[in-house]
């Protein structure tokens, strides 16, 4: 197995290196590096001669399909990771890429969706339903578990006092995550609960706008924009985890928070409600009042021992081993030339 990357960066690079997985740096030179990038991809494929290429997300899907059109010989699996995208919140290049991906969607031998919502969204948008299979994400429940040492270290780094209740979002600062609703709800909660502190963990294009909004709302001193952090450490430092997304596929951060024993409040988008089940509170998107009320309900019922039942739901239904086995089954099926459809 080889892993090809657009850019040689990110926390998982070191994990791949430690595992001895060969990494192919395709060295994308920015947004408009198309022809050169495709040429480097073709050369890498010619050197490796893979049986199956499994591309991840829209840009990679498009380039993998283009390489196949240009004569590279391999079985192709696409991934679908999002649902109900509001493309009006993004620039024209995202809308163009979405149309191109839809036009090329007949080329892959299989399309693997990580969520029910993502599968249904792809079908509604013209992807061939007969080639779409479901393989939900898996959570590493050894890494994501309640860890008092991680909690103490991260809370100290963030200068959280023992009595402060940390309500946080672990998500890229991106329009579809709708941190603005989180901040509006935070203002309401801050007015009635002096012990709450709000955390936005992650980076992204919305940072400057969101920092300005927190200042405008008068809650800048109650909100920390932490930047990127180790996910397991961050979630352990939380007392309550939120997701305010307006669109999702399979939101890993929710499942990871539950695996760490954290109560969650999530918007009813994508597979969020399916993941939470009866072990969290679900609210409508873009409703700061409902979000504030739900979080305050969770604050009132915070248990000293955590939500072990929430963790058990992740262990039982969304294990890493089950996700890997399902994905490998699908990839081996197309490698053997069989139909993509599997019971």
Are 96 and 117 part of one and the same domain? yes
**343 pLDDT above the threshold of 50:** no
Task: Give per-residue pLDDT as tens, 192-207.
Answer: 999 999 999 999 999 9
pLDDT in tens, 164-184: 999 999 999 999 999 999 999
The span from the CA of 254 to the CA of 273, in Å, is 10
Mean pLDDT across the chain, nearest whole number?
Answer: 92
Instruction: Pull the structure tokens for residue 176.
Output: 């579809």
Q: Can you give the residue range of the structural domain that contains 259? A: 148-317
313, pLDDT greater than 70: yes
Query: Is 133 in the same domain as 180?
Result: no
Average pLDDT over residues 94-114: 92
The residue that leads in pLDDT, 83 or 27, is 27
Residue 343 belongs to some domain of the structure: no
Average of pLDDT values for 13-40? 89
β-strands 165-170, 132-134 pairing: unpaired
Strands 75-80 and 52-55: parallel
- Tokens standing for 262? 């954290």
Rounded to whole angstroms, how far apart are CA atoms 210 and 207?
5
| Rounded-to-integer distance, Cα 232 and Cα 10, Å | 16
State the Cα–Cα distance between residues 206 and 145, nearest whole angstrom: 30
**How confident is the model over 124-154, as pLDDT tens digits?**
999 999 999 999 999 999 999 999 999 999 9
> Do 57 and 160 share a domain, yes or no?
no
- DSSP letters for 271-325: THHHHHTTSEEEE-TT-HHHHHHHHHHHHHT--TT--HHHHHHHHHHSBHHHHHH
Q: Is residue 159 part of a domain?
A: yes
Asked if residue 129 is part of any domain, the answer here is yes
To the nearest 10°, the Cα dihedral for 72, 36, 13, 94? -90
CATH no. for residue 117? 3.40.50.2000
Considering the domain architecture, whether residues 154 and 135 belong to the same structural domain is answered as no
In tens, the pLDDT along 47-71 reads 999 999 999 988 999 999 999 998 8
For the segment 313-331, the average pLDDT, to the nearest whole number, is 93
Beta bridge partners of 91: none
Q: Which residues contact 298 (CB under 8 A, 6 or more apart)?
A: 240, 263, 265, 281
DSSP calls for 214-265: HHHTT-GGGEEEEES--HHHHHHH-SEEEE--SS-SS-HHHHHHHHTT--EE
Domains identified in the chain, total number: 2
Whether residues 177 and 324 share a domain: the answer is no
* Mean pLDDT value across residues 258-262: 96
| Claim to verify: residue 36 and residue 114 sit in the same structural domain | yes
Same domain, 83 and 194: no
Helices 207-216 and 179-192: angle between axes, nearest 10 degrees = 30
Position 332 pLDDT exceeds 90:
yes
- What b/e readout covers 289-299, taking b as 16+ CB neighbours within 10 angstroms? ebbbbbbbebb
pTM of the model: 0.80
């Amino acid at each position: 197995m080889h892993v090809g990357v657009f850019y040689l960066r990110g926390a998982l690079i070191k994990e791949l290196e430690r595992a001895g997985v060969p990494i192919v740096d395709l060295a994308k030179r920015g947004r408009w590096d198309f022809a050169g990038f495709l040429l480097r991809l073709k050369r890498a494929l010619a050197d490796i001669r893979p049986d199956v290429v499994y591309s991840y997300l829209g840009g990679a899907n498009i380039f993998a399909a283009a390489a196949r059109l240009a004569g590279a010989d391999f079985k192709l699996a696409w991934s679908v990771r999002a649902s109900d995208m509001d493309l009006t919140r993004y620039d024209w290049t995202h809308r163009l890429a979405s149309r191109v991906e839809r036009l090329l969607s007949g080329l892959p031998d299989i399309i693997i969706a990580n969520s029910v919502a993502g599968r249904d969204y792809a079908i509604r948008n013209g992807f061939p339903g007969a080639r779409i299979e479901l393989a939900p994400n898996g959570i590493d429940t050894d890494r994501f578990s309640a860890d008092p040492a991680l909690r103490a270290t991260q809370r100290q780094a963030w200068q959280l006092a023992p009595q402060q209740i940390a309500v946080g979002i672990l998500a890229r600062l991106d329009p579809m995550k709708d941190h603005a609703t989180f901040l509006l709800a935070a203002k309401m909660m801050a007015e009635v609960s002096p012990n709450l502190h709000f955390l936005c963990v992650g980076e992204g294009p919305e940072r400057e706008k969101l920092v300005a909004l927190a200042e405008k709302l008068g809650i800048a001193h109650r909100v920390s924009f932490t930047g990127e952090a180790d996910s397991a450490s961050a979630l352990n430092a939380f007392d309550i985890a939120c997701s305010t997304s307006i669109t999702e596929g399979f939101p890993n951060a929710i499942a990871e928070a539950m695996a760490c024993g954290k109560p969650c409040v999530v918007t009813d988008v994508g597979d969020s409600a399916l993941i939470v089940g009866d072990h969290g509170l679900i609210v409508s998107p873009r409703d700061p009042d409902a979000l504030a009320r739900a979080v305050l309900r969770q604050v009132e019922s915070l248990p000293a021992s955590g939500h072990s039942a929430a963790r058990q739901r992740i262990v039982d239904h969304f294990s890493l081993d089950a996700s890997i086995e399902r994905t490998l089954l699908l990839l081996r099926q197309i490698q053997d030339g069989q139909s993509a459809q599997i019971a």
